[in-house]
Chain A
Amino acid sequence: MTFRTALLLMAGFAAFPAPAAAQQPAAVVIAIPPLTTPDEKATGPDSPRAVAWQASQLIASDLRTTAELVPVGPDQKDYYSYPEVTAPTFSRWRAKGAKFVLTGFVRSRPDGRLTVGCYVYDADKGRELGRTGFVVAPEEWRRAAHKCSGIAYTAATGAPGIFDTRIAYVAESGPANERVKRIAVMDGDGNNQSFVTAGDTIVLTPRLSAKAENLAYVSYVGGQPNIRIINLASNEQRPLVPGSAMNFAPRFSPDGRRIAFSMQAGANADIYVADSGGGAAQRLTAAPGVDTDPSFSPDGARIAFESDRSGTQQIYTMDADGSGQRRISFGGGWYAAPVWSPDGEWIAFTRRIPGAGSRIGIMKADGSGEKLLTDGALDEGPSWAASSHEIIFQRAGPDGRPALYRVTLAGGDARKVVTPQDASDPDWSGVLD
């Protein structure tokens, strides 16, 4: 959201108090004066001064993507001295309408690395709300900047920042009936794209562990859809379970130790759970029909899933041992692909509405409070941002080509996520360590 659209939104809010707009909290202003540096002399692309300026721009750009904050700056005029990092002139930022101010510094170290520090203040009360600091290699400054954005977002909203995260998806190319599909991973801001698979076999549904260390996905490499687990640091990979029975729809438990998934035996797909490090799978559902798309609650104690045991796809919840299975969706049409929000409040889903396509929506874990967030013709595959305030999903255009979009719970239109190729099956990690 740009500053201008935020103003327009606020103006619209006053003039037309529509129900959707009424729920949208007014975005607050955060001042982002440029990070400073005590090393005035050095210049060049990796110098503390250059990194400080780029990091300031990235922080502002990160915060601009949120519904809650409107960043102002960085502006070269607003440079401050190194001691002022921890003693900002609050009156100056109050006068500019800022409720928050972020300061920080970049300092070179004898070992060639950089120290990056950030502080967030309440400009009204003149009180520090958070701070963070890192030692990074010069080329890793982006992650430090994302961490700074994260403490600003957390200070303003109480929710985890979504900036130092990874997004896995399926990159698609080629003609529609013969798509080349590759697992791709990128930073939360679209930077740092890399391919995980080669594109010689169909791959589906990449799912990251919470800290994006491991990735589970479905591959046709053995002739049948089978789940594989890959360690993103070492690139080592292996099948999740032995045997050739079709298995699919993997999802890590929040602690990364277990994976819930579907396995097909004959005409019947059931939900299983297996140790992500290997071992026997334990069967959790036994209903005839298709039970799939399991998703753990953030405490790992429950699982939401989709089943067509009633005749149509609906959302159910159960305890993580398979007991207490209970249907929670009753709104008509089909409900698919439930995903539990990181804060435990919501379950996102894809709702297929006869004659109207499919949309992304949310409901409470008991099925109450349902609302639809998108209005595309073919939206599917929601995945939560770490903040639980935003969802990434896949939208197919009129030509059938898929792209990734983001939508906030606060309302407003979905925004396209730029990827180098067509993209489907997004999965957004938690905040990295």
Chain B
Amino acid sequence: MRRAILLLVLVSTTASAQLPGLRRRDPGPPRPPTVAAPILLGIDGLRAEFVAQSGSDKVYFGGDSSVLTPQARATLAAQAQWLRRHPELVVRIEGHADGSDTRDHALAIAARRAEEVRDYLVLLGVPAAQLSTVSWGKERIAVMGTSPDALALNRRAVTVLVR
């Protein structure tokens, strides 16, 4: 249950952080708790700290594109800074496509998005051995609907701290 709430918080944070065009309707979620609390020494705590200090665990892409936007590069720079301090972590970059793409092209472009993120993180000094990628194609839709905003929120790559 706590995980679910935390996840919700993350989704709304990153949505507004990454897409300035999207109106924020609530006053904004509370910041995740800081690293000081002993309960946060586990992977959940590290994930929370990662998101808090990187701004987001997600970057977003244009339609049919795997090009990193300036905003995505800024987020990844912050992610890299944090990840370099945690070489002990196993990290997986998960690429996604939006639901308007066809099944197999979605798999390929989502893989390409994950690769772009991985390559950029490596360029910024994160050890390549620490990073793996997987493509979810359009199999894990985050936001339902076919509106341009919904599609944009699904074209993403998520930096997942595995363990």
Contacts from A to B (Cβ < 8 Å): 176-179, 181, 202, 204-205, 223-225, 246, 248-249, 262, 264, 266-269, 290, 292-293, 306, 308, 312-313, 334, 336-337, 350, 352, 357-358, 377-378, 380-381, 396, 400, 424-425
B105 with A306: CB separation less than 8 A: yes
A246 with B107: CB separation less than 8 A: yes
- Cβ contacts under 8 Å, B149 to chain A: none
- Cβ contacts under 8 Å, B112 to chain A: 267-269, 290
Known A290-B112, A313-B102; contact A223-B146, beta-carbon cutoff 8 A: no
A248 with B139: CB separation less than 8 A: no
Q: How far is the CB of A17 from chain B (nearest CB, A)?
A: 36
A293-B102, A308-B64, A380-B102 known, 4 other contacts, Cβ within 8 Å: A248-B108, A249-B107, A266-B115, A334-B64
- Cβ contacts under 8 Å, B109 to chain A: 290
B139 contact from A204, A264, A293, A306, Cβ within 8 A = A204
- Cβ contacts under 8 Å, A262 to chain B: 104, 108
Q: List 18 A-B contacts (CB under 8 A).
A: A176-B144, A204-B137, A246-B135, A248-B104, A248-B108, A264-B135, A267-B115, A269-B111, A290-B112, A334-B64, A337-B102, A352-B100, A352-B102, A380-B103, A381-B103, A400-B141, A400-B145, A424-B103
- Cβ contacts under 8 Å, A378 to chain B: 99-100, 146
State the majority secondary structure of interface residues on A. strand
Q: Is B44 an interface residue (CB 8 A)?
A: no
Bound complex: CA A246 to CA B111 (Å): 9
- Cβ contacts under 8 Å, B134 to chain A: 223-224
Nearest neighbor of B134 in chain A, beta-carbon distance: A224
Bound complex: CA A39 to CA B112 (Å): 67
State the 3 A-B residue pairs at the shortest beta-carbon distance, nearest first: A290-B108, A336-B102, A269-B108
Nearest neighbor of B143 in chain A, beta-carbon distance: A177
Bound complex: CA A325 to CA B47 (Å): 47
